Amino acid sequence: MSGRTDDIVRPKGARQAVLRVLLFVILGLFAAYYLLPLFVMVSTSLKTLEEIRTGTLVSLPGTVTFEPWAKAWSAACVGVKCEGLKPYFWNSVLIAVPGVAISTFLGALAGYALTKWRFRGADVIFGLMLFGAFIPFQVILLPMARTLGLLGLAGTIPGLILVHVVYGLAFTTLFFRNFAVGVSDSIVQAAKIDGAGFFSIFFRILVPMAVPTFGVTVIWQFTQIWNDFLFGVAFTSSDSNPVTVALNNVVATSTGVKEYNVDMAAAILAGLPTLLVYVIAGRYFVRGLAAGAVKG
């Protein structure tokens, strides 16, 4: 337990080695603890119902079957409709793509304008926007439901996109503001003297420098929107449900035999996009989490 102090103090070799092994055993056990649910999900999803009834959680599938996956994708029942998760998965794509794009773009503009074109009240505006990131969304559910109704967007995908854009703005603005604060004012000043305007500075100077910030923001927003359940369940109707709501309905549908293997396959399908993003771009994901903690 003394890696950081290795260079100075060298306890007896044997004791050191034992501690080192212990350290790895503990870390390994924790890794197993975190991986266990994923392992159980995957292995259950590949088992036949017969095997689930006779085996245990941790036993490996004797005969691997992809039947549950096929069923979860295109035949499982969500309420009374039995078309699988597929339509809802595409709903989530249709919600997430514009939701991420619009909120990221607007956040980038706002973050840039609030820092590089400082005007009176910019800090107050930012403070007020930031507060919006931390309200419990229960406090806006009722008026939002009514507003969507008035706009004719109740129960629709565009309605849910609007909700995600509006409540994502606080975070996207925060990310880009923190980025733009670090950009030297003299670059912007020089560009202004050269006659560059608001938008040309944004597109020619800020945007190319902000590629990592775009990465962080896009991943953050995508994860938030894809994983959202509260807005989805409150503001969409059965045809426009996102995949999280549909998954919950699949699991809750209790007609006939409970098909745990199909439930698990459905859960993996619903979680796959964000899991893939995490595996591919984990670094950005972690940076987003850190920034989400409002640590400069």
Instruction: Considering only the stretches 60-68, 150-158, 183-191, 248-256, report the one whose residues sit in contact with another protein under the rule CB under 8 A.
Output: 248-256
Using rule CB under 8 A, residue 289 touches another protein: yes
Is 101 a binder of another protein (CB under 8 A)?
no
Which residues ranging from 21 to 50 are in contact with another protein (CB under 8 A)? 23-24, 26-27, 30-31, 33-38, 40-41, 44
Tokens of 221: 């927003």
| CB neighbour list of residue 224: distance below 8 Å, 6 or more residues apart | 164, 168, 171
Query: Considering the rule CB under 8 A, would residue 204 count as an interface residue with another protein?
Result: no
| Candidate segments 64-72, 75-83, 165-173, 208-216, binder of another protein by CB under 8 A | 165-173
- The verdict on 12 binding another protein (CB under 8 A) reads no
Burial 255-292 (b: 16+ CB within 10 A, else e): eeeebbbbbbbbbbbbbebbeebeeebeebbebbeebe
Nearest-approach distance from CB 157 to another protein, in angstroms: 18
Tell me if 14 contacts another protein by CB under 8 A: no
Cα(80)–Cα(238) distance, integer angstroms: 10
Q: Is 223 in the site for another protein (CB under 8 A)?
A: yes
User: Based on CB atoms, which residue is closest to another protein, 66 or 117?
Assistant: 117
Q: Considering only residues 59 through 98, tell me which ones interact with another protein, judged by CB under 8 A.
A: none
CB of 207 closer than 8 Å to CB of 108: yes
CB of residue 187 to another protein, shortest distance in Å: 17
**Looking at beta carbons only, is 53 or 97 nearer to another protein?**
53
52 touching another protein, by CB under 8 A: yes
How far is it, in rounded angstroms, from Cα 64 to Cα 44?
A: 10
Among 109, 153, 187, 207, binds another protein (CB under 8 A): 109
135 scored as a contact of another protein (CB under 8 A): yes
What minimum distance in Å lies between the beta carbon of 168 and another protein?
Answer: 10
Stretch that binds another protein, among 71-79, 82-90, 115-123, 152-160 (CB under 8 A): 115-123
Binding of another protein by 199 (CB under 8 A): yes
- Tell me whether residue 14 or residue 293 sits nearer to another protein (CB atom): 293
- Out of 100, 216, 247, 291, which residue is the one contacting another protein (CB under 8 A)? 247
